[in-house]
Amino acid sequence: MSEADREWMASLMRPSSAISAGSFIVGVWMAFLTVVNITFGAYSSGRRVNWIDFLTNGDETNSVHEIAVSFPDDILFGILSSLLIAAGVMGMGSAREDGFRGWFSGLPRDRVFTSLFSTKDGLGRTFSSWMIVSGAAYYLVWSTLESTWVDPGVYSVMISFVMVGVGLNWVQDAKLDN
């Protein structure tokens, strides 16, 4: 294998900050859903999600809520969320010199967050940052008002807003690199 091939393979195996941040955020969201499912029921008012059937389109996607940990559903979903959080933390530690702590403490100074209140980095970045906030706020408000946290329609709207915002932020970052 040539030196160029080895370098290319090494770059594929190196963790990225973006994927690590995504893993951490999705893991925290899944942990939140696990807690909501155990305490209130995440499917709808008074109903809990049976995660394995829900994710595999099984026969029994929900059941009457009882405040208890459902084995294996809640346990496996909690473990999966913990693994994603750990992968995000470890990946960020490998991808950045200042590690996870540096990334997390630097979030309030990040261009995505500062552009929410200023157009200093351009109107495109401000718009894209507000798209992310709008999508997340829509999900949180709708889910709270309707007492359901796993509605595919709400996910579709939220993901559309968030991913367009993330994509437009990446476009702004690419303009800075050139």
Note the pLDDT tens digit of each residue in 3-16: 877 777 776 667 78
- Size of the chain, expressed as the number of residues it contains: 178
What is the predicted pLDDT for the residue at 129? 95
Low pLDDT (below 70) residues in the chain = 1, 11-13, 65, 67-68, 178
The helix/strand/coil state of 120 is coil
What is the predicted pLDDT for the residue at 178? 65
Q: Peptide bond before 108: cis, by omega within 30 degrees of 0?
A: no
The helix/strand/coil state of 24 is helix
Distance CA 114, CA 163 (A): 19
What is the predicted pLDDT for the residue at 68? 67
* 43: phi then psi, degrees, rounded to nearest 5: -80, -55
The helix/strand/coil state of 44 is strand
The helix/strand/coil state of 49 is strand
